[in-house]
Amino acid sequence: MEKLKEKQDESSPSNKPKKKAAQVPAGRRRILEQERQRVVEAYRSLKASKYTLTQQSTM
């Protein structure tokens, strides 16, 4: 019975050994940041256009 309990504990995600985060090169980090900014701007413009369409249809 205890062996089954031990196996369950080992398989749980919280008990897995933690990996150190890999160091991301500066160039890659810059590209990722630019992509993140692009996505944020696209999301904002989508929300803004949805808001203006909603406002126009209620008038």
**pLDDT tens track for 7-42:** 555 566 666 677 777 888 999 999 999 999 999 999
pLDDT, position 2: 61
pLDDT, position 34: 98
Prediction pTM value:
0.49
pLDDT, position 50: 80
**Measured distance CA(45)–CA(53) in Å, rounded:** 12
